[in-house]
Structure 1
Amino acid sequence: MIQNVLISGASIAGPALAYWLGRHGFRPTVVELAPALRDGGQAVDFRGETHLAVLERMGVLNDLRRFQTGGSPMRFVGDDGRQLLYLPAEFAGGGIEVLRGDLARVLHEHSLPRTEYIFGDSITDLTETSSGVQVDFRHGASRTFDLVIGADGLHSNVRRIAFGPEKDYVSHLGHYAATWQLSNYLGLAKGSVCYNAPGRLASFGADHRNPERAGAFFVFAAPQVPYDRHDLDQQKALITKAFTGLGWEVPRLLESLQQAPDLYFDSISRADVDTWSTGRIGLVGDAAFGATIGGMGTGAAVVAAYVLAGELARAKGDHRVAFTRYESRLRRYVTGCQKGGDRTGKFLAPGTRTGIRVRNSLLSRPLLMNGMLKLGEKVSSVAALPDYRPSPLAPTDAA
């Protein structure tokens, strides 16, 4: 009987999976490279009946409602600041929107009573045997687990070690995205102001907590280029090159970029893994089916964690049966969600001035806007999602 499960990654999918494994009587351990939970971050959203049902079954929905941002309206402007398009809060915010850091903290707190957390360490090697997986860590002593699950994002370390190099699974979708913090010098109270040039988006958004702070969000079209993910100066140079010479507030935003101590920069990409498991090693969330932006990845990750833990419980720990059922049940669903990510870069940063005008014109029509919102809810829903909640409660709950 499988009991000890190592999960790599303490962002979203990892703690969600740990919570459900603990509820089903397994003993999860989560290892995370960062020294602690990451706070703040971009807003993430849940939409549709399936997302909200899983959050409610976890007992976290009411907690998340206390942290919800209320959504983030988007106002697109021209060089002179005149409004060209307005997108209401529900367009991007879904049924409930929270900051990624708040979501991670809530999931961590709910999983913590039944989960061992190891921060500041990472997996360096995985060796599968007939009865388990020997795991070597960068800092800690080697240990053996019954299963190992990679919940460590689009650039998954577990996937690289057990499945192969990232280039075999992650596809560049033609755009890059960046975000950093700065002062709220525009005095924006809520939402964001966005400016387009062909193939580029520059956005200034109010901080959801601190009215004196704001966030810059840039998207630009570019072929895949090699860069050091740990070299902030190199990343800042790429962003500056792409946006130099543009109008509106772009010059001042680029000035703030040079002073920013922290920067998120990544390609808009998607992960496609033919099979989400190999032996006793599996993948969940972005590691298996990620899309950087617009692919409903957060909601899909929470749903997938729920299903994977549920299938392991139903199969009484037979990982071969559970992995097959887990993938069979979710493959079509997450593929449908990912398609939204394929269009995100082109939507945010159309490649031509004509494309920008057409997008603005179409989305100014209420009928089309409502249709897109309903489509998002439909795509995010799973037909007849099983109720995996353990009944009666697992021994760990009764203690």
Structure 2
Amino acid sequence: MKTVLISGGGIAGSALAGPLRDRGFVPTVVERAPGPRRGGQAVDIRGVALDVVDRMGLLERAREVRTRMRGMSVLDADGKEIHRSTEATFSSGRLDSADIEVLRDDLVALLHDHTREGVEYLFGDSIAALKQHEDTAAAAAEEGGGVRVDFAHGPSRTFDLVVAADGLHSSVRRLVFGAEEQFSHHLGSYLSVFGADNFLGLDNWQMWLNDGEAGFGIMPVRDNTELRIAFGFASGPLDAGQRDPERLRELIVEKAAGLRWEGERLAKAAAEAPDFYCDAMAQIRMDHWSRGRVVLLGDAGYCPSPLSGQGTSLALVGAHVLAEELARPGADHRAAFARYEERMRPYVELNQALALENAGGPASEESVERAKNAISLDA
């Protein structure tokens, strides 16, 4: 049985661990957080990604925890409603669609519960270094070679394959392919996501506001007891000193406080949120997603940015395709990685294009419909 180390216990990593386990592999997931991560925005499972979740046996459970929005209001800078819709929201698209929107932490919890048996999880650790051993045709035929992995805390181990599913700022990608700056393309803004009490009293209703170069989307969650706030602002790439997490929080607090409507309460929520997150809106674009026995999955290899609304679907579909190709009878990892990339790349490119189609707004329904179904699960 082949051993596979997956770096990252989020959506992509957990979505891969289950199919690998079910196909006879021995997966280990290493995650630097002390447990499944909490917080995060609502994410969409669209098109063919629904079929992936269905094949896992999790579709009905995902539908049970989906968001239940009734609609949305769009406000001007003073909080006056200028548009409302009971047909669609900016976060999820059409409300009568078969696609579903779930909180990121709910989806991570579903995937972790589904994979905790038969999958080794190493929480509170990360990959510090790795060295690939011989990877020739002869070695592959004899099941030779491997990747020696040094962990930040645990003892070193050797695995047959390593999968980088550790996100936009993948440390494994940096170790194997080089500096992030080669592959990251900034999209002109930053986004923060954080939770708060439902101080607006929203009832399954979203609110969106833009005030110059800053704005937010707010939605109630957990039976309307909490809010998830997505606050964004236009900016070129920040320098290293400004990208420190606490400096980013200070920046968001400052910009939120400058809003004319609800700025004070938004700033307070950002300052106090235990689940505060902020990062650049960026895409990862690479010529190749594998090198030797290491392969990239999800945001680590082809992040489309939250502006596309398709990062979760790319991660789910990528995990399914990679597991399927690795499990082909008689396949070695090089052929599997090549077929994985051949199948996924057109789908990835269409979905990445969604983030660039309409600056400051969502892509057209026609483009989303085409992109979300642009791959067959049965090669």
TM-score scaled by structure 1? 0.85
**Aligned ranges for residues 194-209 of structure 1 at < 5 Å?**
194-206=208-220, 208-209=221-222
**Alpha-carbon distance change, 116 to 36 in structure 1, aligned in 2, over 3 angstroms:** same
Structure 1, unaligned runs of 5 or more:
349-370, 388-399
Secondary structure of the 1:347 match is coil
TM-score scaled by structure 2? 0.89
Question: Residue 82 of structure 1: CA displacement?
Answer: 2.4
Counterpart residue identity of residue 12, structure 2? A
Q: Which of 129, 134, 139 is the aligned partner of 2:133?
A: 129
Moved more, 297-306 or 191-200: 191-200
Q: Which of 91, 101, 106 is the aligned partner of 1:102?
A: 106
> Does the CA-based 8 Å contact 2:250-2:271 persist in structure 1?
no
- Larger helix share, 1 or 2: 1
Question: Residue 224 of structure 1: CA displacement?
Answer: 0.5
Counterpart residue identity of residue 125, structure 2? D
**Alpha-carbon distance change, 3 to 383 in structure 1, aligned in 2, over 3 angstroms:** same
Quote the residue 2:165 is aligned against.
Answer: 151
Counterpart Cα distance in 2 of 1:338 and 1:132? 33
CA RMSD for the aligned pairs?
2.2
Question: Residue 99 of structure 1: CA displacement?
Answer: 0.9
1:218 aligns with 2:222: no
1:29 aligns with 2:28: yes
Question: Residue 81 of structure 1: CA displacement?
Answer: 2.8
Counterpart Cα distance in 2 of 1:222 and 1:19? 39
Quote the residue 1:76 is aligned against.
Answer: 74
**Alpha-carbon distance change, 90 to 260 in structure 1, aligned in 2, over 3 angstroms:** closer
Quote the residue 1:189 is aligned against.
Answer: 203
Question: Residue 197 of structure 1: CA displacement?
Answer: 1.8
> Does the CA-based 8 Å contact 1:227-1:234 persist in structure 2?
no
Counterpart Cα distance in 1 of 2:8 and 2:358? 25
1:86 aligns with 2:84: yes
Quote the residue 1:235 is aligned against.
Answer: 248
Secondary structure of the 1:114 match is coil
Secondary structure of the 1:148 match is strand
Secondary structure of the 2:278 match is strand
Question: Residue 210 of structure 1: CA displacement?
Answer: 4.9
Quote the residue 2:140 is aligned against.
Answer: none
Question: Residue 80 of structure 1: CA displacement?
Answer: 4.0
Quote the residue 2:120 is aligned against.
Answer: 116
Moved more, 305-314 or 224-233: 224-233
Quote the residue 1:168 is aligned against.
Answer: 182
Identity %: 42
Question: Residue 182 of structure 1: CA displacement?
Answer: 2.2
Counterpart Cα distance in 2 of 1:220 and 1:228? 18
> Does the CA-based 8 Å contact 2:45-2:100 persist in structure 1?
yes
**Alpha-carbon distance change, 227 to 250 in structure 1, aligned in 2, over 3 angstroms:** farther
Secondary structure of the 1:340 match is helix
Quote the residue 1:353 is aligned against.
Answer: none
Per-residue CA deviations over 1:278-301 (Å, capped at 9, x if unaligned) read 000000101010023133010111
**Alpha-carbon distance change, 230 to 219 in structure 1, aligned in 2, over 3 angstroms:** closer
Per-residue CA deviations over 1:171-224 (Å, capped at 9, x if unaligned) read 111100112222222211123212112222133332x10534223321111111
Counterpart Cα distance in 2 of 1:332 and 1:211? 39
**Aligned ranges for residues 1-399 of structure 1 at < 5 Å?**
3-48=2-47, 50-71=48-69, 73-87=71-85, 88-89=87-88, 92-93=91-92, 95-130=99-134, 131-206=145-220, 208-227=221-240, 231-295=244-308, 296-314=310-328, 316-343=330-357, 346-347=360-361, 372-386=364-378
Counterpart residue identity of residue 373, structure 2? S
Question: Residue 46 of structure 1: CA displacement?
Answer: 1.3
Per-residue CA deviations over 1:300-354 (Å, capped at 9, x if unaligned) read 1100110011011115350110000000111011111111223576227xxxxxx
Counterpart residue identity of residue 81, structure 1? G
Secondary structure of the 1:68 match is coil
